[in-house]
Amino acid sequence: MDDAPILICYDGSPGARRAITVAADLIPGLRAVVLDVGQVLTVAESYAALGPTVWDFEEYNAEQALAQAEAGAEYARRAGFRADARAGVAAPTWEGVVDVANEIHAAVIVVGSRGLRGARERLEGSVSHQIAEHAGRPVLIVPPPAREAAS
């Protein structure tokens, strides 16, 4: 894996933190870029955009994404990666991830999964599956922990 960095997707969720921890166990000590891709416009912002005040929501969302990515990079450094933060805004999210992966020539993309199945996955979508489908490079999808059997 020469010196190509790994790309770690980070949104602050427990699944994203778990993905970092698992990746650190499987591929420790590498250079990593920790990425959060914010939305171009959230639902609430789309309503606010109809008002009289003009806000630059894309810039705001990019700043929020960078703050989240910096927190993720710190988490990744504590896990043993040489990590830098990176942020962007894109719709759909998977496209922003794939664009950054291509730009940095990522060796692998690491992403957590919410573990959705069936109708719920079709309804809410699966960013991790979309990344894997479109990335053209290895993708490590880290699922949530297995549920303990009911007693």
* pLDDT one digit per residue (tens) for the chain, 151 residues: 568 999 999 999 999 999 999 999 999 989 999 999 988 755 444 445 555 555 667 788 889 999 999 999 999 999 999 999 999 999 899 999 999 999 999 999 999 987 655 555 454 458 898 999 999 999 999 998 887 434 4
Chain-centroid distance of CA 119 in Å reads 23
Identify whether the C-beta of residue 101 lies closer than 8 Å to the C-beta of residue 130: no
pLDDT at site 145: 86
- β-pairing verdict for 82-89 and 31-38: parallel
Alpha-carbon dihedral sign for residues 120, 123, 128, 134: positive
Chain-centroid distance of CA 138 in Å reads 15
Instruction: Name the strand (E) or helix (H) holding 36.
Output: strand 31-38
pLDDT at site 62: 87
pLDDT at site 47: 43
**DSSP secondary structure string for all residues of 68-93:** HHHHHHHHHHHTT-EEEEEEEE-SSH
Identify whether the C-beta of residue 77 lies closer than 8 Å to the C-beta of residue 83: yes
pLDDT at site 51: 54
Is the CATH code 3.40.50.1860 the one for domain 6-142?
A: no
pLDDT at site 2: 67
